[in-house]
Amino acid sequence: MKTKQDQNAASRASAKQKSKPKKSVTKAASKTKSNVKKARSQARAKSKIVEENREEVIAEVAYQIAQKRGFRGDCALDDWLQAEREVDAKYSCGRSVKQM
């Protein structure tokens, strides 16, 4: 005759057998996950930097655009708009960035 302890031990053993085995994560998969996390973190950091200094970055890029064309003509607005597009595309901040 089985005691309650024997029955409990038997039921626990069968429950362990029924539980799903843990998936083993390979080293390559683990590295890939950490690389993805790192890339996302870096992208957020870049975006945050641009959000905080967006106008300064755009002004620098606009200046570089004007410098490339030799500062000829009155194209300051065109340079600024082109710089906005380049900065927004590079840092993926688009119009979601709070305008300063």
**Separation between Cα atoms, residue 19 and residue 7, nearest integer Å:** 18
Tell me: pLDDT of 5 over 70. no
* Confidence at residue 97, expressed as pLDDT on a 0 to 100 scale: 45
Tell me: pLDDT of 18 over 50. yes
Which tens digit of pLDDT belongs to each residue from 88-98? 888 765 444 44
Which tens digit of pLDDT belongs to each residue from 29-66? 666 778 888 888 777 776 666 577 889 999 999 999 99
pTM of the entire predicted model: 0.45
**Separation between Cα atoms, residue 86 and residue 81, nearest integer Å:** 9
